[in-house]
A and B are shown apart, each in its own frame.
Chain A
Amino acid sequence: MSVMLVLIFFSISTALLFLIAFVWAVRNGQFEDDYTPSVRILLDDVASSIEPNPKITPNQTPSLTPESHASGQV
């Protein structure tokens, strides 16, 4: 059954290939998060209709005025 050798050879090498892939995946941190990806695929990345305008820098993001400071406390 020499052909058995061939099949074993191919099967083991294929399995080995996947082992390598597995090691890579772990090393690459593919399995560090085993939840979020399953959610992420549900959220389509639709292109934003407006061009994000470069002028805006975070210090212009609404700094907190005393009122807003006060509101919502407690």
Chain B
Amino acid sequence: MDQPLTGNKSFGKIKAESLCFHCGSELPARKFSLEDKSFCCEGCVTVYSLLKDKDLCRYYDITRNPGVEAIKPVFKEKFLFLDHPEIRERLIRFSDGKTSLVNFVLPAIHCSSCIWLLEHLYRLSPGINRSVIQFQAREIQIWFQEDLISLRKLAELLASIGYEPAIEESGFQKDAEEKEDKSLYYRLGVAGFCFGNIMLLSFPEYFSLANSREEGMSLLFRLLNFTLALPVLLYSAVPFIRSAWNSIRQKEINLDVPLAAGILAMFFRSSWDLAFDLGPGFMDTLGGLVFFLLIGRWFQRRVYSRFSFDRDYKAYFPLAVTRIMEDDCQEILPLARLESGHRLLIRNQELIPADAMLLKGNALIDYSFVTGESMPIACAEGEFLYAGGRQTGAGIEIQILRPVSESYLTKLWNHSSFHKNKEEAFATFSHKVSHYFTQAIAVVALLAAAYWLFQGLSQRALDAFTAVLIIACPCALALSSPFALGNALRIMERNRFYVKNIATVEALAAADSLVLDKTGTLTPAGSGEVNWEGITLKDEKALFTALFSQSIHPLSRRAAAWLGGNVSLSVQEFQEVSGKGICGQVNGLNLRAGSFSWVTESAADAQSHFSADTRVWLSLEGALLGSLKFSQQYRPALGKVLSELRNTLTLAVLSGDGQQEESRLREYFTPSEPLLFRQSPEQKLEYIKQMQLAGHKVIMAGDGLNDAGALKQSDAGIALTEGNAGFTPSSDAILEGSNFHLLPRLLAFARRSVQVIHLSFMISILYNVTGLFFAVQGTLSPLFAAVLMPVSSVTVVVFTTVLTTWMGRKEGLL
């Protein structure tokens, strides 16, 4: 793992002055200044002054502008639920009454400054004893004293300096895999130790110890060898034997079967030889084999604990919600206990956990999670609210209509496609090969044995039989795909393309069609163009900036940003009517902004405020000035990327939003390529399914929760993520949006890597054939085996690694 940690987000050219001292994002028109430094937003200023106050400014020396961009303001109550004993219980990993230990995932960790700052948390609060970062996992371990700082305050503290913890269900069950982790290491250690020493003790045999006057010694050596081989067989080799056994029980042969056969053959044949003094045996080969195999496993294991590839909807929802009791007092309720009929308080930025009805308040729901539609929807009281929507604006009160699991969004997870495990479904190349391979070996072994029996040489027959199993033990075979694809994974990772496992690489290589989601996939999330249609604005800019910056409506914020005047002007009689618009007095002038009806104070229907192409009309002293047109913006060089993809894949687009963008989207696609809009999650899933039934291997690329079904159903689901947020639906691979343009090359690379495996398979088969030539004659010398095994393995490993790296270069990924 080697992302260079020279943190700052590569604004190389731009002069530091034009960047926010804290986060390095470009300074807006209205920048904040403190001392001689300038900042992009108040959030950054706050953090800076806090760190300065605590003598933590070294943070800024380690890497330039290390801060987290656009610190999401966390509403006061966001972490209230951490006070709930049940939740706390589940989060705290260890507590001795005084000190407690908690693990948080902080998606914002990105550079060495982060590590330094977060490991100096103790300077920020007397309650914190110590904190340790695990960079790759984006995880922090904090030992703290709950009597001095509560779990909630801790979370808030982290959020306040820009490292908001992402607390989700999946965060809880980690320990299991850690255990597995360790056992692999133990097995490696034991195998390595035994291998080294067995080798030492075997060579004397090969180098004619026996016929020098050292029988006593050679006997001792053999005994030691046997003893050292036991742990290899009984401990280190267990995973292979076990998996072989399972696969036999399930009547489908995987590569571990011949491996296990080889291992067992080696052990017993050697024990036999040692016992009856027939030779030194194959113990060293055995040790080496198992050692190499384990190395392979270790190499191929890629845990991006920073990403969770199989999140379900729970991940998106808070662990707890605020329930309003009959007597109108509030209590925190773990999500699990939520039932229909409950009344909930949903605050600004909070998610609606289940389908509900709006009781009180101005709902302005942002469904971007669910539909990909970026424009918030205003809802009137009594209206139906879908689970997964996010309230923007003042708090609202809702009544739950359906339990979480049956809500519109979450129903998706009851769909069959979420219950089948893709890895099993997709037979990897090595699986297929090993099938025939194993049978072939079995036949050869038996034939050889039969032949010698026929010749009446029973001992020879036994030798030949075991020898075949030993020599055919497909060590190289087993190593080639872990190393080829393991290396491929690394190279992809360098390009911010995080692939779940090597099976996925093969799936990506095999695919013949690609289905894309629109918002967040073809368009960077939350981005957009603003066009002004109307009289050219001069002083009005300033006036309306002032007006807009009073409102927290997303459109207002974008409008203000676009107008970009300073906010010094004060606004009187500001008024915001949800679903209509805003108005107020600046410099004694009446300003109105919002829907046409609102601005012109005519009686057109209110909803047109968020019409097909989103517009905000402005009027000054009742005179209509024009309208701001908000439209989406596609990823740079989208056309080029798509045409590259077209060479190998058939394309289609499934979008959750309305038709309005179709015309612009068409520009990028050929008429033959289907563009479907207003697709519900189920529809998307179904669409993929149909393609597969039509015999296609499908890659789905999407970002929203609404793509979750499709991603899951597809042969390889690629989820796009923006920056550090890293909040993705379940998928097989995660691609950082900024690198979307690399997709064609990444897929090409995947295909090449698979070709590499095919080649390396041939090589290892060649080795096996040579070996077999000797084996069948029952004249396999241990030394020969001891040499052939590592040689074949090493060649294959080097071959695959070098070749994949070279391929990576060729694709310009390195």
Binding site for B on A (CB under 8 A): 1, 4-5, 8, 11-12, 15-16, 18-19, 22-23, 26-27, 31-36, 39-40, 42-43, 46, 48-50, 52, 54, 56-59, 61-64, 67-74
Contact = CB atoms under 8 A, between A and B. Distances in A.
B772 to A, nearest CB: 35
Contacts of B112: 39, 42-43
A20 to B, nearest CB: 10
Of residues B55, B148, B190, which shows the largest number of chain A Cβ atoms within 10 Å of its Cβ?
B55
Given A43-B112, A59-B153, A73-B557, A36 B135 contact: yes
Given A4-B217, A58-B153, A71-B42, A27 B125 contact: no
Contacts of A52: 54, 122-123, 126
Contact of A43 (B41, B54, B115, B153): B115
B50 A72 contact: no
A5 B216 CA distance: 11
A69 B42 CA distance: 9
Contacts of A32: 134, 178, 181
B178 to A, nearest CB: 7
A1 to B, nearest CB: 7
A22 B73 contact: no
Given A15-B197, A62-B50, A71 B190 contact: no
13 contacts: A12-B224, A26-B185, A26-B186, A35-B1, A36-B115, A48-B54, A49-B55, A58-B124, A58-B154, A59-B153, A61-B125, A68-B46, A71-B41
Interface string B192-230: 010011001100000000000010010010001000000
A68 B160 CA distance: 11
Contacts of A67: 42
A23 B558 CA distance: 57
Interface string B256-279: 000000000000000000000000
Contacts of A16: 193
Closest 7 pairs between A and B when the two form their complex, measured CB to CB: A72-B41, A74-B557, A26-B185, A58-B153, A36-B135, A68-B42, A22-B189
A54 B127 CA distance: 10
B525 to A, nearest CB: 11
A58 B557 contact: no
B123 A57 contact: no
Interface string B33-72: 0000000111100100010001100100010000000111
A52 B135 CA distance: 26
For this complex, into which size category does the number of interface residues on chain B fall?
35 or more
A26 B42 contact: no
Contacts of A71: 41-43, 73
Of residues B75, B134, B154, B185, which shows the largest number of chain A Cβ atoms within 10 Å of its Cβ?
B185
Nearest to B123: A52
A15 B41 contact: no
Contacts of B75: 64, 69
B135 A61 contact: no
Contacts of A50: 54-55
Interface string B99-134: 000000000000010011001001111110000011
Given A22-B193, A72-B71, 8 more contacts: A36-B135, A43-B119, A46-B58, A56-B126, A57-B125, A57-B148, A57-B153, A74-B558
A27 B179 CA distance: 10
A11 B185 CA distance: 23
Contacts of B92: none
Nearest to A70: B552
Contacts of A54: 126
Contacts of A57: 125-127, 148-149, 153
